[in-house]
Structure formats: C-alpha cells, structure tokens
Amino acid sequence: MTTPTIVLVGHGMVGQRFLESLADRGVTERARIVVLCEEPRPAYDRVQLTSYFSGKTPDDLSMVEAGFMEKHGIELYVGDAAESVDREARTVTARSGRVFAYDALVLATGSYPFVPPVPGKDARGCFVYRTIEDLLAIEEYAKTATTGAVVGGGLLGLEAAGALKGLGLDTHVVEFAPRLMPVQVDEGGGAALLRTIERMGLTVHTGTGTQEVVTADGSVTGMKLSDGSELATDMVVFSAGVRPRDQLARDCGLTVGERGGIAVDEQCRTSDPAVFAIGECALASDGRVYGLVAPGYEMAQTVAATLAEEAGEGDGFTGADLSTKLKLLGVDVASFGDAHGTAEGCLDVVYSDSRSGVYKKLVVSGDGVLLGGVLVGDAEQYGLLRPLTGTVPPVSPEQLVLPAGAGAPVALGPSALPDDAVICSCHNVTKHAIGACSSLAEVKKCTKAGTGCGSCVKVIEKLLPAPADKGLCGCFSYTRSELYEIARALRVTSFAALLDSHGREEARGGEGCEVCKPTVGSILASLNNGYILDGEQASLQDTNDHFLANMQRNGSYSVVPRIPGGEITPDKLIVIGEVARDFGLYTKITGGQRIDLFGARVDQLPSIWTRLVDAGFESGHAYGKALRTIKSCVGQTWCRYGVQDSVKMAIQLELRYRGLRAPHKLKSAVSGCARECAEAQSKDFGIIATAGGWNLYVGGNGGATPRHADLLAQDLSDAELVRLIDRFLMFYIRTADRLERTSTWLERLEGGLDHLKDVVVHDSLGLCDELEALMAAHVADYQDEWAQTLDDPERLRRFVSFVNAPEAPDPSVRFVPERDQIKPDLTILTLGRTNSTLEGASSR
Amino acid sequence: MTTLTTLTTTTLEISPDPGSWVTVCEEARLTPGRGVAALLPDGRQVAVFRDRSGRTYAIDNRDPFTGAQVLSRGLLGSAEGRPFVASPLLKQRFDLETGRCLDDDEVTVTVFPVRVTSHV
Ligand code: SRM
Ligand SMILES: Cc1cc2nc3c(=O)[nH]c(=O)nc-3n(C[C@H](O)[C@H](O)[C@H](O)COP(=O)(O)OP(=O)(O)OC[C@H]3O[C@@H](n4cnc5c(N)ncnc54)[C@H](O)[C@@H]3O)c2cc1C
Ligand code: SF4
Ligand code: FES
C-alpha cells in the first residue's frame, strides 16, 4: 500500500489551522503532506497584522510553533506558489517547476485586495494592506511622506488609517458609502464613529469616490475625488474590499461563483471530489464568501475530519457568524448578528449620546430574542452580547444599552450565559469548554480561545474562577497597590499600625511575615523617604537592606558602590582597587557597568564603606528593590555616530532616581544613537538618542523572561524626558504588585501601553501633578544610606558578627584561593561546625 | 524624675546545656522583629530574637539548608499565631518555639531556652 498524498495550496491562517487539525487527528502519520506557500514566510497572524506597527515583529506574528513541520513530517515549500493543477493526472505544478501528485488537493489561497481600476493606481506610493511585505513597504515609504490617504472606510481601511496615523502621517479616509464601516454599522453608529475618528485627528471624506490617482514622475502626489475636489497626498493605501483568489481553480475548470469564490458543498468539496477549498477563497454552500477567519477555521476542521475518515464526518460547514470588532487604537466598534435589523417584525432599542460618541443599538425580535446589535464608542459588552444572540436575555434590552448609572441596575454577568454560548467566535469555543480550565493561560493552550482577535478575553477572564484570594499574603487580603493607596491616603507610617488596622482578622496583632514586611517597608520608604533602618522600619527590611549589602552563600556580603552611568575616574578606580586589596575582597565587573566587591564579613562593612564614602562613593543599592544602574554608551562625545550626550544623560538620571524604592528593582540605560550599544530596549526605562532629542522606551526586561521595551514617546527634550520618566516611575510604584517588574506590570495593566500613554502623557486621570510632586520630594530628600549610617554610632551597632563578642569575626566565613583571588570555603559549611566541640551535640 | 525602671537593666540569657545559662546581651539591644547572633563558649552560634510583644526566642544560628550561620539575620513573622524566622538565604521558615522547618518536615533546628533577668 502506498502512502496517500495531500497537497495544500496556500499557507495562510486557514491553511495552518488545517495542518494542525490533520496533526491532531493523526493524519500526518498516515499521509504525505505537501504545502505550497507563496509568501516568503510560513503562516502568520494576518488578523493581528496591524500590531506590527505597535512593535510586534514578523516572528511574533508567526502561527507556526517551532518544530511543527519537522515533528509532523510536513513538507513545506516557502516562497513557492502553485501555478497549475492537472485534475486528470491529479498533479500540481509549482512555480519552481516541482510537480506533486495528489490524492487529495486542498485550496486555501485566501483573497487579494481589490484595487478599483482608477488611473494611476500602479504609481509609486500606491499600496494594499494584506501581507507583512505590504506593511514593510508602507513603513519604508512613509518615512519620506507627510500625508497618506486610505481608500475605503471599512474595518480594514480604518485599521490601515490608524496605522498611517501612527506612522506620523496626516491621514485621510475616503469612503464611497455615506458612512464609515457601512457593512457593519447603521447610520446612527456611523455618525458616532465619524465623530470619534475625527476627534483622533483623521480627516474623513464619506460619500466620495476616488476618480484618479494624480502622479508626477511616476509617484503619487494626490487624488481626484468624485466630488470634483483634489486631495494632496504622498501615498495611497487601497482597502476597498477583497476578492477570493480563485484563478487556479478557474484555470483547471472547477466551478466558481458568479462573483468569484470556489464553489464548495457543506463538506467543502469543490465540483471535483478530490479537491477541497477552505477559507476566504471558498464560496460556501450558503452562497457566501466569508472574509473572516473563524468560518475558515471551521472549514479547515471539516475537511480535516473528512480526510481522517472520521465517522459521521461532523456537521460540515453550513454558514457562520459575521460578528466583528474593530481593533483600532482608541476606537470601540463592534457589530454582531443581524446588526441592520433585516428580520421581519424586529425592533430596535437604541441608546445614543452624541457628546461622548457612544451609540448602541440592539435588534430584538417581537418575542424578545436578541438578534444582533451595533456598539460604537463603548463596546465593553460585546463579548457578552454576542454569545447571548439567539436567546432571550435575562434582563430587558433597555437595561443592556443604558450606560451604568443611568438607571441600568445590572452589569450582566457571564454567569447569565447558557453553557453552549460561543464565547470565542474566532475559535468556536463555548462557555462549557472554558469552564473546564482554571486560568487564562490554560484556556489559551487547551482551547485556543482568546488567541485570535482577542476580543473575548475579558469575558473569559470573568468566567474563570477568580483566584481564590488576591491578597498579598496570609496577613493581608489587600494587594500591594491597594496597600499603597491605603498607606498614602491614611498617612500610615507604621507596619504594625497597618497590620492591626487593615490586616486579616487572624493576623492582627501578629508579626506579619517575610512577604508583607519588606513590601510594606518599601511602600513606606517610597512614601516617606526616611532613612530606612531606623525604628520599626529596621525590622521590615530584607536582610540585604538591613545590612545595606548583598548576602552571599556563605553569609558574607558583597559591596557595590554606585558608579553613575558607568563613568568613573582613574582615581576612584584606584580607590576601589585599594579597598578590595586591603580587605582581601574578590572583585568583578558586573553586568550593570560597575564593580562588585565580594567576601566582606558583616563587621567589616562599616570600615569598607568609610573608605569608600571618603573617596566620594555612595551606596549602589544592589541590595534594594530600588534603582540599580543606568547604563550608558559612550555617546556623542567620543563616538562617531552619537547624536546626543548619552553619558551625561545617564548620570543625570541615575543621580535623580538613586535610592528610589519600588515594587521591584529598576534598571535603565541611555544609548547615544539608534545603534543602541547600551541595550536600552531591555530596560525598565530605556532612552535612545535621536537627532531631535530622546525616545523613551518602557517595560523592557532582560532576565528570565526577556521583553523588548515599548516606545512611550519620541523626540523629547531633556526636560520633557525627565518629567515623563518621573510620572512613569511613580505611576508604576503606585500601581504595581509586589515583585512585579515594569514589564509584567505593563503586560497586566488594563489597556496596556495605550492606557499608560493616556495616564502619563495625556494626563487622563489628572494624576500627573501629584506623581511629579512625589518624585520631587524623593529627589529633594535623598541621602546616601551609607553616609547616614556611618554618621551614627547607634546605627552602626548592628554591624557585628556576635552581639556578645563584637570584636570576634565569624569563623564560618572563610575563603580559599582561586585564580589569584578568593572564593567562599564551602567545606566548613557542610561540616556543620566551625569549631569541633567535645559535646558533639547534634543541631537536629 | 528618676524611677526604678530606668535603673534596671534587663539581660537576656540562654541555656546551651541543661542547667547552665550564658548572658547574651541587654534586652534593649534587640529590635522587635529581628535577631542577633551570639557566640557560645564552645564555638556554637545561637540566633536570638525578640518579637513585637516582647517575647524572646533562641535557636541554632546555622541554616541547615546552606550551612551558613545566618538565621539570626532572617525576618520574623507569624503564621497561625506561631512565630517563625525566614532564612535570609533561601527563605525556608523555622518555627521559633519548636525549631521545626515549616517548609520541610524532615528538618529541625535546635531550640534553646531563653530567660530575661533584671538587675537593679
Ligand atoms: C552582580 C550581578 C552579576 C554580575 O556579576 O554581573 C548580578 C547578581 C545578582 N542578580 Fe542579577 N546581577 C547582575 C546583573 C543582572 C542583569 C544585567 C543588567 O542589569 O544589565 C540582569 C538582566 C537584566 C534585567 O534585570 O532585566 C539580571 C537579572 C537578574 C534577575 C532576573 C530579573 C527578572 O526580571 O527576570 C534576578 C532575580 C530577581 O531579581 O528576582 C537577579 C538577581 C541577582 C541577585 C540579587 C541574586 C540574589 O538574590 O542573590 C544577585 C546578587 C548579586 C550580589 O550579591 O551582589 N538578577 N542581573 C549583576 C549586578 C549588576 C549591578 O551592577 O547591579
Ligand atoms: C489587516 C487585516 C485585519 C483583519 N482582521 C480580521 C479580524 O479582526 N477578524 C477576522 O475574522 N478576520 C480578519 N481579517 C481577515 C483574515 O485575515 C482572513 O479571513 C484570513 O487570513 C483568511 O485566511 P486564509 O487562510 O483563507 O487566507 P490567507 O490568510 O490570505 O492565506 C492565503 C495564503 O495563500 C497564499 N496563496 C494564494 N495563492 C497561492 C498559490 N497559488 N500557491 C501558493 N500559495 C498561494 C497567499 O499568499 C496567502 O499566504 C483581517 C485581514 C487583514 C488583512
Ligand atoms: S549607541 Fe550609537 S553613540 Fe552609543 S556607542 Fe553605540 S554607536 Fe556610538
Ligand atoms: S473571539 Fe477572537 S480570539 Fe476569541
């Protein structure tokens, strides 16, 4: 018996889903699978295409898990398209000349953007918006452009317009229909949408067609519109709909629809039973071509089931939901079900507030069944309403559209949804299936729900069991940020007071624990700026903070003096060398552009620091959840590429934020140009010089889960930069959880980067004055902890190995030589006794 | 005004072996919620703690998980009303009254009796 061959033409979103379904069903083990992929890269997430402009790389967008093809023995030909099909011989010929014989052929060729046949449409500066290559080309061209126009005001057109705007272009949208998103929203919704879009700074021309693209020397210079006006523009992006790519099918004589699309039956079989068509290229048995990914996924599964010869062959594909939500910066638009109210006898329930740009319409049947709706300006309820479509909602439709506080008593909870309600329409996942999981990560892994357009994530989160207890620890039922607010509002200055007034009932009057004590200690330190080791605060700090040094594995300490920006004079270098030599310390250059001295006994710390402070050094806070280092590159002063003085800026910033206590450590770097030698994009806040000033990136992380920082603002002056960092840091300190780096905080922050921008750049919460004032207080009150400690004999008393023998060194801290320096002698530790004693009493 | 209490010093003592008591330090040296280390005549090290309510505890200073003499530098806490210290190195917690490790049933550290004596 020979192995059958399945050939897949087109490796897009649906094609990849088809391959996964084959693998899930074990078909990949029984059959040879060949894939022809026209694009220069394997399948990627086209739905999230626009997120490329907010920092996703083509790799991030990939839909193929590493090793997937190899694991399942799939032959993938990237960059090779199918050119012709010989149905008689059952072969496919590729552009490269390769010929593949098939037993089953699956066409998943997707669609192509329709470009209206206007003169000038092929000029330099004309683009479509479909592939990563399109976006790369748009991005490149936009660098030299100032104005851009998008032809088409539909879902994708607005997405493209948002992208052009984001690239800094003066952006126009030209829509032939009398309103934006004509397919999805009705007139009222269109009006609300128009206001919102215009408020974002885009210019909209509705009821206007494009007559001609005006060119000079082969490049776009403008557009002639049907109303006789002319629009000056440097580039044009066509987004006037898509057409199924059915040419291959036409050429080999398969039946195609009158208006395009490869005709298929419910099993997605074309007019030739050995050939299937799925996704956007298919004309489904209900007479529609679906331009959404969810129906394509269903088709992929249908065909995989058929090829796996599964009993019953499933239900087949009979049609799908056309609900959509716009993924555009700052605009909430959604439509679902029978949005235009075409069913007989149906009623509209409309809420409209033209000031705020909110418009909501629900369509209900005479007997109260929810048929569909349109939400503009506030699509919060989309995730809930969509699954309720087809049912009689548990509350009246009026209550569903009225805004909270306007007599709407209910926030309709996901608990009201029936078990078989489809929560994730991209992946067709029901409430029941989600109920079987216990975390969002698990839901994504097991059901894929939430991994498509992402619009269902909010509802999924509500369906999951709330983590039993969000409290910080066994002592507090509040989170760190809640405790911060409590301490700030009530001016709490003592841990004991906070525990006794706001701790869990059973923990009041107790000691607290190793989790809440340092956390509250840090909150009090960032609010009060006092010396952190006096009075009660002393008992809260982790050991490292308590001794202002980092404990090492044998109980000795490391000493890290601050070296702002990594700049150091030869004299200071010599002092560090001398101190290390005189105290016999191991020295190492750290990853943070400074020098670590290891192997100090606790009782040696004050003498070491006396020498360092005398030479002008300060604490480097290597021990604290505080600002660590601000690395720099050498920058403009020396480097031939530098465009700003990165060293000076790094020093200025390090001196400003030194000593700042935070939920976790803070790291930063400043690079003198885009070559980024200081690796600023891996930092909590990173700064890269531009010809016009500084770009500020936030939320970067190295460490265990690296994350590239996101661009927060561009071309800032020195003063603007400092002010924005002040706000950013204080907002983080105020709202982050314990041990949450800025990267994880930003990922968790509702609304993400956009929300952060709103708060710290646009001051949407009116918080900025207060944030700046808090930072100003920190800067004004900063004092070097080590100098403060050395000044006070009382504070120095803790630096002894033994309270009853202050002069005695700890005999368990010993070292052995290695590479001309020292290392801890661990053998004494394993022996368990530093002195052999007669008693031999076991310590167990 | 001079009162009797200001003339009184209160000293902490621990008993390393039945019947013998060793002076550690004045009670006031201990910050509530933290510890100190004391050296015994035989070279052993003891970690001595005082909690918020003034109760004192003494256990072996050696962290059994790393061998380092560091338990005195851990943070005090309470769980279900029982006091513990968390090792500053790998954070295992030890019950201050029994020496039992709360994070590993197999491990215990020695507990020493402590007393406070006042002298005028
Ligand atoms: C000394 C040093 C290694 C070296 O020899 O170069 C070091 C040493 C330690 N690092 Fe680090 N890290 C050092 C640079 C880094 C860097 C590189 C950098 O800063 O450019 C990173 C990755 C960048 C980042 O943080 O995003 C780094 C990521 C970590 C992490 C993982 C953080 C994360 O978010 O995943 C930890 C663990 C933690 O903090 O929870 C950590 C924790 C530690 C601790 C505190 C572990 C511990 O608890 O004992 C080490 C204490 C050192 C000590 O006793 O002095 N260290 N560590 C570096 C000190 C830099 C400095 O001058 O302050
Ligand atoms: C910007 C943007 C935003 C979108 N947003 C959403 C959304 O929010 N929700 C939603 O449901 N849908 C959205 N869509 C639509 C969604 O991307 C498509 O429905 C989906 O990609 C269709 O998958 P497909 O596999 O059928 O086609 P495609 O993903 O287009 O894949 C077809 C592939 O076949 C290749 N191909 C064609 N001919 C050949 C040949 N002869 N040989 C070899 N290869 C060939 C093509 O190059 C292409 O790579 C969006 C689309 C875009 C462009
Ligand atoms: S980042 Fe630019 S300025 Fe700085 S050292 Fe590198 S190349 Fe030079
Ligand atoms: S609805 Fe799109 S990911 Fe769930």
> Which ipTM score applies to this complex?
0.69
Q: Is B114 helix (H, G, I), strand (E, B) or coil?
A: strand
CB B50 within 8 A of CB B56: yes
pLDDT in tens, A754-772: 999 999 999 988 889 999 9
Indicate whether A842 pLDDT > 70: no
Residue type, A197: I
Residue A215 pLDDT grade (very low, low, confident, very high; cuts 50, 70, 90): very high
pLDDT at A836: 31
Tell me the average pLDDT across A50-77. 91
pLDDT at A412: 57
Which of chain A's residues have a Cβ under 8 Å away from the Cβ of B67? Answer: 826, 828-832
Which amino acid residue places its CA nearest to atom 4 of ligand 4? A424
Indicate whether B6 pLDDT > 70: no
pLDDT at A427: 84
* Interacting residues of A299 by C-beta distance below 8 A, sequence separation 6+: A14, A264, A268, A278, A279, A282, A284, A317
Indicate whether A410 pLDDT > 50: no
Residue A835 pLDDT grade (very low, low, confident, very high; cuts 50, 70, 90): very low
Tell me the average pLDDT across B90-97. 92
Structure tokens at B98: 């029994």
Q: Is B111 on the interface with A (CB under 8 A)?
A: no
In chain B, what percentage of residues exceed pLDDT 90?
54
Indicate whether A833 pLDDT > 50: no
Alpha carbon of A452 to ligand 4 centroid (Å): 5
The minimum-distance atom of ligand 2 relative to the CA of A453 is: 8
Choice from A544, A559, A596 to test ligand 1 binding pocket (greatest atom count within 8 A of CB): A596
Alpha carbon of A296 to ligand 2 centroid (Å): 10
Indicate whether A714 pLDDT > 90: yes
The burial class, CB within 10 Å (0-12 / 13-18 / 19+), for A647 is buried
Which of chain A's residues have a Cβ under 8 Å away from the Cβ of B38? Answer: 802-805
Mean pLDDT is lowest, of A15-24, A435-444, A725-734, for A435-444
Which of chain B's residues have a Cβ under 8 Å away from the Cβ of A512? Answer: 33, 77-78
pLDDT at A386: 82
Choose among A238, A239, A235: nearest CA to A141.
A235
Which of chain B's residues have a Cβ under 8 Å away from the Cβ of A538? Answer: 31, 34
CB A642 within 8 A of CB A689: yes
Mean pLDDT is lowest, of A265-274, A344-353, A715-724, B91-100, for A344-353
Structure tokens at A504: 């869990």
Which of chain A's residues have a Cβ under 8 Å away from the Cβ of B29? Answer: 797, 803
Tell me the average pLDDT across A425-429. 83
Structure tokens at A198: 């215009």
Average pLDDT score over chain A? 88
pLDDT in tens, A147-187: 999 999 988 898 899 899 989 999 999 999 898 888 877 88
Q: Is A315 helix (H, G, I), strand (E, B) or coil?
A: coil
pLDDT at A365: 85
Query: Is residue A741 in contact with ligand 1, taking CB distance under 6 Å?
Result: yes
| Higher per-residue confidence, A328 vs A272 | A272
> Which member of B38, B66, B75 has the closest CB to residue A517?
B75
- Using the beta-carbon criterion (under 8 Å), do B75 and A802 form an inter-chain contact? no
pLDDT in tens, A639-692: 999 999 999 999 999 999 999 999 999 999 999 999 999 999 999 999 999 999
Q: How far apart are CA A221 and CA A572, in angstroms?
A: 61
pLDDT at B7: 56
Which amino acid residue places its CA nearest to atom 27 of ligand 2? A110
Alpha carbon of A365 to ligand 1 centroid (Å): 62
- CA distance to partner chain B, nearest, from residue A548 (Å): 13
pLDDT at A843: 29
The burial class, CB within 10 Å (0-12 / 13-18 / 19+), for A472 is buried
Indicate whether A747 pLDDT > 80: yes
CATH superfamily name and code, B9-118: Rieske [2Fe-2S] iron-sulphur domain (2.102.10.10)
- Using the beta-carbon criterion (under 8 Å), do A536 and B33 form an inter-chain contact? yes
- DSSP letter (8 states) at residue A723: H
pLDDT in tens, A11-22: 999 999 999 999
Beginning with the edge strand found earlier in the chain, give each strand of the sheet holding B111-112 in spatial order.
Answer: B34-39, B45-50, B56-60, B111-112
Query: Is residue A814 in contact with ligand 1, taking CB distance under 6 Å?
Result: no
In chain A, what percentage of residues exceed pLDDT 90?
59
**Residues 21-60 of chain B whose Cβ lies under 8 A from any Cβ of chain A:** 22-25, 29, 31-34, 36-39, 42-45, 48, 51-53, 60
Alpha carbon of A630 to ligand 1 centroid (Å): 14
Q: Kindly identify the ligand whose nearest atom is closest to the C-alpha of A587.
A: 1
pLDDT at A108: 98
| Higher per-residue confidence, A8 vs A750 | A8
Residue A794 pLDDT grade (very low, low, confident, very high; cuts 50, 70, 90): confident
Q: How far apart are CA B116 and CA B113, in angstroms?
A: 10
- Using the beta-carbon criterion (under 8 Å), do B78 and A510 form an inter-chain contact? yes
pLDDT at A3: 86
Choose among A341, A375, A355, A363: nearest CA to A188.
A375
Alpha carbon of A286 to ligand 2 centroid (Å): 21
pLDDT at A404: 58
Average pLDDT score over chain B? 88
Q: How far apart are CA A138 and CA A128, in angstroms?
A: 9
Which of chain A's residues have a Cβ under 8 Å away from the Cβ of B48? Answer: 803
CB A276 within 8 A of CB A105: yes
| CB–CB contacts below 8 A, A to B | 140
- Using the beta-carbon criterion (under 8 Å), do A514 and B75 form an inter-chain contact? yes
Q: State the sign of the Cα–Cα–Cα–Cα dihedral A120, A125, A127, A131.
A: positive
pLDDT at A123: 95
Query: Is residue A426 in contact with ligand 4, taking CB distance under 6 Å?
Result: yes
> Which member of A804, A829, A844 has the closest CB to residue B68?
A829
- Rounded to two decimals, the pTM is 0.54
φ, ψ dihedrals at B117, nearest 5°: -120, 140
Tell me the average pLDDT across A729-755. 91
pLDDT in tens, A288-319: 898 888 889 999 999 999 998 864 555 677 77
Residue A329 pLDDT grade (very low, low, confident, very high; cuts 50, 70, 90): low
Residue A838 pLDDT grade (very low, low, confident, very high; cuts 50, 70, 90): very low
The burial class, CB within 10 Å (0-12 / 13-18 / 19+), for A407 is exposed
* Interacting residues of A334 by C-beta distance below 8 A, sequence separation 6+: A323, A324, A325, A326, A374, A375, A379, A382, A386, A455
* Interacting residues of A161 by C-beta distance below 8 A, sequence separation 6+: A150, A171, A172, A173, A197, A202, A237
